[in-house]
Amino acid sequence: MCGITGFTGKGTALPVLMQGLEKLEYRGYDSAGVTLADDQGLRTFKAKGRLSELRSIVENRELHQHTGIGHTRWATHGVPNNLNAHPHTNSTNTISLVHNGIIENYVSLKQMLENNGYVFQSETDSEAVVHLIDYYYRRFQDMETAFKRAVRDLEGSYGLCVISTYAPDTVFVARKESPMILGISDEGTYCASDAPALLEYTRKLMTLNDGDIAVLKPEHIALFDAKGNEKKEEWMEFPYDLQSAQKGGYDTFMEKEIHEQPQTIRETMRGRIEGKSIVLPELDPILGRILRADHVLWIACGTAYHACVYGQMVLNRLVPINSAAIPASEFRYGNYYVDKNTLCIFVSQSGETADTLAAIKRAKSSGAATIAVANVLGSSLTRIADATVYTCAGLEIAVASTKAYTAQLTLIYLLAQKLAEIMGYSTREHDEIITYLNELDRLTQETIDIAKPVIREYASMLKNEHDVYFIGRQLDYVSAMEGALKLKEISYIHADAYYAGELKHGPIALIQDQTVVIAFATQPEVASKTISNIKETVARGAKIILITDQNTPAEGFTYVIRIPEIRPDLACIISAVIFQFLAYYAASERGCDIDKPRNLAKSVTVE
């Protein structure tokens, strides 16, 4: 969602802040701003719209300050405009703040502050925090004390960065349920809401723990826990380089990330198959709890939720215990039965999705054993879960998830096999499973090679469509759901997914002459049934794009892509690249901003 950057050091702050914000553009935003500090005062610049607007305001000005904060805002409280854009400053222009998250008690804070003479300029919850810090500064006459005291009054979620003329070489940082990374180099100290903002300057990074506060000086960072106790910094060398955060010759990050999938699937498998065994030592600490689990819940949002549906279906075929997938936003408030015999698996690329974090907290408080399937190292989800297995998709920058999704499916498949083994259920197909897993990266590349030459033409069929339908049965329904999500999020074409067998119970009423139906028939057990359903839509005039296996008869269909020979329960993984390309080229023909689709953010850190 919103992006934050902060810097204090020897060099000039503005380029560090602006370049950092550029690297965070993929997170989604609708206004941007910076504040620079020195002992002469604070200078704040803001602009509605793209970063280029802000850049045109600050360029050609003499701005050589060494300390500053920057922000890209994705509107939650108040429309996107200059007043609501961050940074927010107090009335004497001595304190400036940027904030990600939602301050849940801002109404009562605002009331208290207004009663004390404070006047608000914006409609945002964030502005209350800058006045609150001012309120405490007047009492304590010390910025660090005022900042820490104000943070104690906040309810909700926040990543906060504050600078002030009262301490012009310092950036004050706090976080709760909103990501915040710190960095250090010979040039200075940095903070940002996501690592790509800092990679140009340093790879010596650290995640600020939930509830902690950091005080950034040009040469060092002091850390404090929620009770105010000083803590030791734990730096790590960030595993990805700047190259990973660049497009590497592709037009967009999404295109690059689709092409990376053979490699990211390989990385996700690396070290996890030894001979004929699947090895996931990360599960060792909870083996006993897995053994006594009498039901399994898979919980996540968006694309990661679709990966959960895959997990549920794969596990249901392996073990005779109930397994269900639930969207995190529903699970956190729903009446789902969870106790100490429940195993809850949470799937998230970012590990920072607000609903998923709330859901894992709920599961833990009911005594469930929890596993995180996450991509971002050290993210909040991984700190809460009893065990974490990492997908190794690398940095995913495009808002539309592609390589993270196939890495999730791959790891979830391994996890389901391992859970079945731990629970004492063996399969006679084990050797075949290992053989195909070892081939998965190659088969994904082969699918890319098969799909690419034809997919542009198929995508151009979608260009002027208003509604497209994705259908499939069993595991193919997972592809239908994710295919429909990909198409709508980046091309803005309305798309829905249906179980093929459900069509005649209602949705077939929508099919008219030339309606595009994208059908998946890769599951031999039900392929003939799906083909019958497809023919029912053809009889009503539908145009079909069929994604199928090598053997399903497909006479009479013009637009057919056959995936390479693979075990049916792995077909979802390789067929993903087909609908990803389809959505990509359809969006590209419609001139959409593919990496930054409207209204969407990479990581949804607010509810």
Q: Is 399 in the site for ligand M6R (CB under 6 A)?
A: yes
Query: Of 2, 191, 308, 592, which is the active-site residue?
Result: 2
Among 244, 401, 491, 515, binds ligand M6R (CB under 6 A): 401
Shortest reach from residue 382's CB to ligand M6R, in Å: 12
CB 163 within 8 A of CB 13: no
Mask for 300-329, x = binds ligand M6R (CB under 6 A): -xxxx-------------------------
In the numeric block, the tokens 């960095």 are attached to 183
The 512-541 site mask, x for binding ligand M6R (CB under 6 A), equals: ------------------------------
The span of 61-69, 99-107, 166-174, 299-307 binding ligand M6R (CB under 6 A) equals 299-307
Residue nearest to ligand M6R (CB): 302
Task: Tell me how far apart the alpha carbons of residues 280 and 388 are, in angstroms, rounded to a whole number.
Answer: 10
Stretch that binds ligand M6R, among 245-253, 258-266, 346-354, 517-525 (CB under 6 A): 346-354
* Mode of pairing for the β-strands spanning 295-300 and 322-327: parallel
Shortest Cβ 83–ligand M6R spacing (Å): 29
CB 454 to ligand M6R: min, Å? 24
Catalytic, 2? Answer: yes
Among 397, 517, 604, 606, binds ligand M6R (CB under 6 A): 604
Please name every residue paired with 389 in a beta bridge, in sequence order, or none if there are none: 373
Minimum CB distance to ligand M6R, residue 180 (Å): 16
Does position 484 interact with ligand M6R (CB under 6 A)? The reply is: no
Q: How far apart are CA 44 and CA 95, in angstroms?
A: 11
Does 489 engage in binding with ligand M6R (CB under 6 A)? Answer: yes
Question: CB–CB of 95/137 below 8 Å?
Answer: yes
- Dist CA 142 CA 377 (whole Å): 36
In the structure encoding, which two tokens stand for residue 22, read together? 């550029």
SS3 399: coil
**Alpha carbon distance 343, 324 (integer Å):** 11
Residue 235, Cβ density class (10 Å: 0-12 exposed, 13-18 middle, ≥19 buried): middle
Residue closer to ligand M6R (CB basis): 1 or 216:
1
Alpha-carbon distance values, 590 to 464, 467, 493 (Å): 8, 15, 10
Considering only residues 564 through 593, tell me which ones interact with ligand M6R, judged by CB under 6 A: none
CB 401, min distance to ligand M6R, A: 4
What is the number of other CB atoms lying within 10 angstroms of the CB of residue 551? 10
**How many C-beta neighbours within 10 Å does residue 227 have?**
6
Query: If binding is defined by CB under 6 A, does position 380 make contact with ligand M6R?
Result: no
350 counts as binding ligand M6R under rule CB under 6 A = yes
Q: Compute the least distance from the CB of residue 416 to ligand M6R, in Å.
A: 19
344 is catalytic: no
Query: Closest by alpha carbon to 171, among 225, 212, 142, 214?
Result: 214
Span near ligand M6R by CB under 6 A; candidates 81-89, 220-228, 268-276, 344-352: 344-352
Q: Which of 342, 379, 391, 387 is nearest to 362 (CA)?
A: 342
The stretch near ligand M6R (CB under 6 A) out of 357-365, 393-401, 533-541, 561-569 is 393-401
**Using rule CB under 6 A, residue 1 touches ligand M6R:** no
Helices (H), 323-426: 328-331, 354-365, 380-384, 403-422
Q: Cα(407)–Cα(240) distance, rounded to whole angstroms?
A: 17
**C-beta of 168 vs 597, nearer to ligand M6R:** 597
Distance between CA atoms of residues 429 and 276, nearest Å: 12
Sole window of 43-51, 89-97, 342-350, 415-423 interacting with ligand M6R (rule: CB under 6 A): 342-350
CA distance 206 to 194: 11
To the nearest whole angstrom, how small is the minimum distance from the Cβ of residue 603 to ligand M6R? 5
Taking the complex as a whole, how short is the minimal distance between the CB of residue 304 and ligand M6R, in angstroms? 4
| 489 closest CA partner among 400, 602, 403, 582 | 400
In the complex with ligand M6R, the residue whose CB is nearer, 136 or 584, is: 584
Q: Residues interacting with ligand M6R, by CB under 6 A?
A: 301-304, 348-350, 353, 356, 399-401, 489, 600, 603-604
Question: What are the catalytic residues?
Answer: 2, 602
